[in-house]
Amino acid sequence: MKTSFPRQDIRVLLLEGVSPSAVETFQRAGYSQIERHPGALPPEELKSRIAEAHILGIRSRTQLSADVLQSARRLIAVGCFCIGTNQVDLDAARALGIPVFNAPYSNTRSVAELVIAEAIMLLRGIPQKNMLCHRGGWTKSAAGSYEARGKTLGVIGYGHIGTQVGVLAESLGMQVIFHDIEAKLALGNARAVAHLGELLERADVVTLHVPETPATRLMIGVEELARMRPGALLINASRGSVVDIDALADALRRGHLAGAAIDVFPVEPKGNDEPFVSPLIGMDNVILTPHVGGSTQEAQDNIGIEVASKLVRYSDNGSTLSAVNFPEVSLPEHPRSRRLLHIHRNVPGVLSRINELFSSGNINIDAQFLQTDAEVGYVVIDVAADETQAAALKDRLAAIPGTLRARVLY
Ligand SMILES: NC(=O)C1=CN([C@@H]2O[C@H](COP(=O)(O)OP(=O)(O)OC[C@H]3O[C@@H](n4cnc5c(N)ncnc54)[C@H](O)[C@@H]3O)[C@@H](O)[C@H]2O)C=CC1
Ligand SMILES: O=C(O)CCC(=O)C(=O)O
């Protein structure tokens, strides 16, 4: 397997309409083999395409399972051009020596703005009024229409997005309560509640901002919906797996909830040419959006630059800073040395074999960096060697038992 290349030989595959700003970032760094697809690929095509790619960029729809990743023989890194990384089997990627990067803040504000807009629209009953006007009807009435001021917003998951939503909601005069599994600094006048049930019982508007994890799967089901106040509103711009969508449809049909705004679904179309199917279709009091919480020009431009820069930095320099599944190493430049990267299973004996290789060969090490986690070790070695010597060293490193990936940087 060839794992060391000049930049112009590195193949970058960008799926799901990743922003052109990513392409420009790669090009500016000297990468020329960049392929960009507007949608996600079906599993079999994905497998055959990533077998040839060295760097892969995806958004939320591409499922990188352990099985798919097995096909990625040449892959050196994955970039999730979004916040969520639940679509990637991160452990499987790590076990193959593939770091995964994301953009943890670039679309935070976009999601928060949409959520606040939806809260106001739902409180005013605008979705129903809008639909009726489209059908030639007219409901000029204040019934069921409320100001946001003075209402209680319940934020579930008080992280980057949840806190932004809270700050914006307070500026409208809303009272903010939140529930999180971690102890969180409450911003402004926001208050943590004792447990999820209390939040559901007190909030006029409940908004979800948790990641997809085993614990958040179906965290809002029949019982939780029943605990919400009659006439309350639910907003979900987190992940579709978090809400029992059939139970939600039932609560809306029965009038227990007055409305909902849903951006994420248990099953989402792979691209804009696939049909969207949901039990919520046809409900006038529900705002349905096609997973666009983070889809603004500003967010996508920033994400493109941020994630592509991280991938370029890893590819050119070996830095794994802010990788979500990998030992993090922030590396200086290496202007006068060849840099060798060695990723291995963190088992006894590998490091001594590496050091032995250099000492027995009488090779001068300019600098060495090491970071490990429970499963993976990442060693970076700068040596005074010419290109041929460095390539030979890389081959000998790759032959050490336990090696996952070995690379020499140009
Ligand atoms: N609709 C869209 O386009 C977008 C959706 N998202 C989704 O929003 C999620 C949240 O994003 P961020 O705020 O940036 O993440 P974050 O990691 O900053 O915050 C998540 C918060 O949820 C909390 N949490 C985790 N498990 C929990 C549980 N079981 N119960 C209560 N709280 C729990 C965490 O402690 C953390 O404070 C992302 O993971 C992603 O799935 C993110 C961006 C765009
Ligand atoms: O815009 C996207 O592709 C996905 C946005 C999202 O859900 C995320 O950033 O986690």
Residues 281 and 192 in one domain: yes
Claim to verify: residue 216 and residue 123 sit in the same structural domain? yes
CATH number, domain of 119, equals 3.40.50.720
Q: How do residues 108-154 score in pLDDT, each as one tens digit?
A: 999 999 999 999 999 999 999 999 999 999 999 999 999 999 999 99
Q: Is 37 helix (H, G, I), strand (E, B) or coil?
A: coil
Q: In this structure, what is the dihedral angle of CA atoms 279, 283, 285, 290, given to the nearest 10 degrees? A: 60
Residues 72 and 197 in one domain: no
Are residue 169 and residue 241 in the same domain, yes or no? yes
Complex confidence, ipTM: 0.99
Query: Into how many domains does the chain fold?
Result: 3
Q: Give yes or no: residues 179 and 119 share one domain.
A: yes
Statement to judge: residues 158 and 263 lie in one domain: yes
Of the listed 291, 338, 405, 407, which one is catalytic? 291
* CATH code for position 336: 3.30.70.260
- Considering the domain architecture, whether residues 204 and 128 belong to the same structural domain is answered as yes
Residue 3 has pLDDT above 50, yes or no: no
- Tell me the ligand closest to 182's alpha carbon: 1
Angle CA(112)–CA(117)–CA(120) in degrees, nearest 5?
Answer: 125
To test the pocket of ligand 2, the residue of 58, 160, 161, 291 to mutate (highest count of ligand atoms within 8 Å of its CB) is: 291
- Examine the residue annotation and report whether 291 is marked as an active-site residue of this protein: yes
What pTM does this model have? 0.93
Give the residue with greater pLDDT, 358 vs 404.
404
**CA 340 – CA 318 distance, rounded (Å):** 9
Rounded CA separation 350/123 (Å)? 61
Can you spell out the DSSP letters for 44-94? HHHHHHHTT-SEEEE-SS--B-HHHHHT-SS--EEEESSS--TTB-HHHHH
- Domain boundary pick from 262, 288, 314: 288
Number of the ligand 2 atom closest to the C-alpha atom of 82 = 9
Beta carbons of 100 and 77 less than 8 angstroms apart? yes
- The SS3 assignment for 199 reads helix
Range of the domain at 53: 1-102+297-326
* 117/43 same-domain check: no
If you measure from the C-alpha of residue 80 to the centroid of ligand 2, how many angstroms do you get, rounded to a whole number?
A: 9
The residue whose CA has the least distance to atom 7 of ligand 1 is 238
